[in-house]
Structures are given as C-alpha cells and as structure tokens.
C-alpha cells in the first residue's frame, strides 16, 4: 500500500528547508533552526513532520552511531515541481505515485 500524506504547512516548511540543503543530512534541530526565524513552529512538530516525510519516502534518514542522532536528507528523486503540483492538490505523495501518474 502506498502512503499518501495530506498537505500541511509544517510538512511543506520542512520540505522547503530540505530542498535548500539537498546534498546535506540535517538533524531535526538544524531543520528547526533554518526555519524558525520565518516560521514559528515548535521543535516537536518538526520532529513529527520529518519522521512522517521519511515514512512517506520523501526524505532519506541516517543514524549517527557515535551521537545516536538521526539526520534527514531530501530524496533527489522528488522534484520541487512535483511538490508544487501535489501542494495544489492538497496532497503530498510518494515518489512512486508521482512517477506512475
């Protein structure tokens, strides 16, 4: 079964930050710091949105075994144009669903 996420502002904000830092793995606190000045969202919401986007296949996840912290990176197979198209339809969909459409 393919996972479909509803479009939410926190998820869109997290994806915006991740698209700006496509090649880097960012910890959730780094994502939060990058958006906090403009978008007043709590750290716990950023944690939840990041996890949900990972589970939907939009982000990659990496565990730092030394620190025990999880970092996320934007999946390059998910283009910003497809994100904007899905945002217009109020859904965030997995790359698999977008490629099959």
Nearest of 55, 35, 58 to residue 45 by alpha carbon: 35
Over residues 3-54, the pLDDT tens digits come to 677 888 899 999 999 998 888 999 999 999 988 777 788 999 999 999 999 9
DSSP 10-36: HHHHHHHHHHHTTTS-EEHHHHHHHHH
Over residues 42-54, the pLDDT tens digits come to 999 999 999 999 9
pTM beyond 0.85:
no
Nearest of 46, 41, 42, 40 to residue 59 by alpha carbon: 46
């Amino acid at each position: 079964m393919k996972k479909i996420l509803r479009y939410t502002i926190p998820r869109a904000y997290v994806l915006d930050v991740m698209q700006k830092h496509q090649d880097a793995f960012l910890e959730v606190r780094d994502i939060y710091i990058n958006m906090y000045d403009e978008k007043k969202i709590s750290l716990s919401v950023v944690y939840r949105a990041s996890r949900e986007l990972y589970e939907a296949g939009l982000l990659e996840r990496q565990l730092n075994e030394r620190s025990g912290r999880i970092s996320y990176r934007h999946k390059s197979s998910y283009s910003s144009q497809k994100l904007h198209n899905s945002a217009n339809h109020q859904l965030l969909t997995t790359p698999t669903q977008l490629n099959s459409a």
